[in-house]
Chain A
Amino acid sequence: MTEQIVERFGMLAPTSRVFQRHPYPILAFISGNRDSLWLSCYQRGTARLEYINNCGETEAELILSADRTLAELTGSHEMMGLLIYVAQWIVPDLDDRFCLDPDIIRAKQSEIYQALTAGATDVLSVIHEFEETNYNF
């Protein structure tokens, strides 16, 4: 399952790389020009998505526990939209509680999420867009 998640993450952008396969967590990232989107897959099945800016600061974070429920979601509305889109793409068996979570429902209304699901933009373009705009918490 973890391999599948990492593989699907790699399909999201041409700039994706696997940074570390051993030891846990398995780390992969999609790099923009300055910012990057990191995936960490842990030993117990937890998956973490982090949007990291060029200062190395985490600007948005989404943690899925092994039972595919949402443990954590922080960041701006638009960045949450990106992380949720990516989570839905890479994790095929999300729990119903994920989809019903109020924060998830709110973030799905973001312009970024809507554009991604409509195919009007892609993950790398969104990262480039964030790089140009100073999104804060």
Chain B
Amino acid sequence: MMGGDHNMELITEQIVERFKTLAPNMRIYQLDPYFAHASIYAEHDTLWLSCSRRGTVQLEYIDLAADTKAQLILSAERVPIELIGHPKITGLLVYVAQRIVPDLDDRFHEDPDIVRAKQSETYQRLIAGETDVLSVIHELEPHILDPQ
């Protein structure tokens, strides 16, 4: 676990604050010192953020049927534990993680799945400022993408 409880509380608040800046329609469902649950919602699909007491950060892309289409789990050490989903969506998750988690480990950037996700068109367009998080969700919504 990173640092003390107070550090974790501050870092979680910081992550949620940064998540808030990514889209106008962001909603915080729960926020206490040790657990945060927030979402960016579009017409049908939703991007969920969960920050936990032990420092784990999870980003989950959920479709209309409440199915998880993509998921990124970061450990308290900021190392990717899991990354699943179609590259179009994992590219979004990796972009969001980079925007909201200030202290990503080098192992995050060197991870082969992360490197692949960064090669996606979605990630490239987000990084280039040609699109934004909400627009990407709107683009993804009409499509059913099987995880790779």
State the A residues within 8 Å of B (CB).
23-25, 42-44, 46, 56, 63, 65-66, 70-74, 103
Across the A-B interface, the 10 shortest Cβ-Cβ residue pairs: A23-B147, A42-B82, A72-B56, A46-B82, A65-B81, A71-B75, A46-B81, A24-B84, A44-B82, A71-B56
5 interchain pairs (CB within 8 A)? A63-B73, A70-B54, A71-B54, A72-B52, A73-B54
With A23-B146, A24-B147, A63-B73 in contact, is A43–B54 under 8 Å at CB? no
CA distance A72 to B35 in the complex (A): 12
With A44-B82, A46-B73, A66-B81 in contact, is A74–B53 under 8 Å at CB? yes
- Chain B nearest CB, measured from A86 CB (Å): 19
The residue that B56 contacts in the complex, of A25, A42, A63, A103, with Cβ under 8 A, is A63
CA distance A64 to B145 in the complex (A): 27
Chain A residues whose CB sits within 8 angstroms of the CB of B66 once the complex forms? 56
CA distance A62 to B147 in the complex (A): 24
With A46-B73, A63-B73, A65-B75 in contact, is A71–B35 under 8 Å at CB? no
> Quick one: CB contact mask for B91-130 with A, threshold 8 Å, 1 for yes?
0000000000000000000000000000000000000000
Chain B residues whose CB sits within 8 angstroms of the CB of A56 once the complex forms? 66
B window 52-92: CB within 8 A of A: 52-54, 56, 66, 73, 75-76, 81-84
CA distance A66 to B75 in the complex (A): 12
By CB atoms of chain A within 10 A, which of B56, B73, B82, B147 has the most? B82
Chain A residues whose CB sits within 8 angstroms of the CB of B75 once the complex forms? 65, 71
CA distance A76 to B81 in the complex (A): 24
- Chain B nearest CB, measured from A55 CB (Å): 13
B window 7-37: CB within 8 A of A: 35
Closest to A65 in B: B81
B73 touches A71 (CB 8 A): yes
Chain A residues whose CB sits within 8 angstroms of the CB of B53 once the complex forms? 74
The residue that B81 contacts in the complex, of A23, A63, A73, with Cβ under 8 A, is A63
CA distance A34 to B95 in the complex (A): 38
- Chain A nearest CB, measured from B101 CB (Å): 15
Chain B residues whose CB sits within 8 angstroms of the CB of A74 once the complex forms? 35, 52-54
Closest to A137 in B: B35
B147 touches A72 (CB 8 A): no
CA distance A103 to B54 in the complex (A): 10
Chain A residues whose CB sits within 8 angstroms of the CB of B84 once the complex forms? 23-25, 42-43
- Chain A nearest CB, measured from B39 CB (Å): 14
